[in-house]
Each structure stands twice: as structure tokens, then as C-alpha cells.
Amino acid sequence: MDAMTTNSTARPAVSAVDFFTAKLAHQTDPADLAHARATGAAPLVVDVRSAAGWAQGRIPGAVHIPLAELTERIGEHAPDRDADVVVYCWGPGCNGSTRAALALALAGYSHVKELIGGYEYWVREGFAVASDAGRTRHAPDPLTAPVG
């Protein structure tokens, strides 16, 4: 028996409505972030990866604060704890952005979101990227961003 059938009669501690509402309140995806930026509702975007990751490529306009330095340096870029902040790491296989969002929430930042898919899905959806070599854009991956 798998987990789905084993616990089929157990009542969840949180309703599905509450769970998905909270998830949407605390996560954003690359398309929604790009739209917010295009309409002038741009949050502070924070890349919490290593210096090597930052040099390789990043979301244009993001600030680089490695996760280990986040709580001590976030005030340089977001002194107002009501600021809208989006944090990202490499991608779905990395929990650095989850740890960063939690650290900021524990530090009193009330409008923190995690970029689901991270940098990987930002690139895969064909949005512009910056690197130490300049600015580029890759073709969208048809598995993540419909073409046409």
C-alpha cells in the first residue's frame, strides 16, 4: 500500500483550500514574476546562490546575497520589513530559496515569496538572464513554456 491509500481516511490538519491559498501567498513562478516586473510591481529579487552561480547567470536586476549572509545583509537592500521580496536558488532540486524565505520570515519580513523553479525555470521559460559575460535570452523550453 502506498501513502495515498494508507491514509485515505485520515483528516488533514489543514484544509486543501487553506493549504493552496497559503502556497499561492508565499510562492510565485517565473511567468508571474516577469509579469510583475513588466508592470512596475517589481519586488526585490534576491539570488541566494554561491558567487560561482551568480557569475554564471542570474535574473537581471536581482541582488546577490548568499544564503549564509542573508539575515545580516538583507537590510542593505530591504530596510522596510514590509517590502515585497522574492528569493531564488538554482531550481526545484535546491531548497536554498525555501531556507532563505523562512529566514526572512523569521526575521520579520512579512511579504516574502519563493520563486518556484528557481533560476533553472526562469531560464527554461526563456526570460532574459544576466551574467558576468553580459545579457542573453535562451529559447523557451517547450516543456515549460508553450511556444506559439
Distance between CA atoms of residues 30 and 28, nearest Å: 7
Query: Is there a catalytic annotation at residue 89?
Result: yes
Residue 48: name the closest of 2, 3, 112 by CA: 112
Going 30 to 123 to 66 to 132, the CA torsion angle's sign is negative
CA 106 to chain CA centroid, Å, is: 17
Torsion of CA 109, 32, 136, 132, to 10 degrees: 10
Grid look-up 549572509 returns: 69
DSSP 7: T
Residue of 87, 89, 101, 123 with catalytic role:
89
Distance between CA atoms of residues 131 and 45, nearest Å: 16
Which residue numbers are catalytic? 89
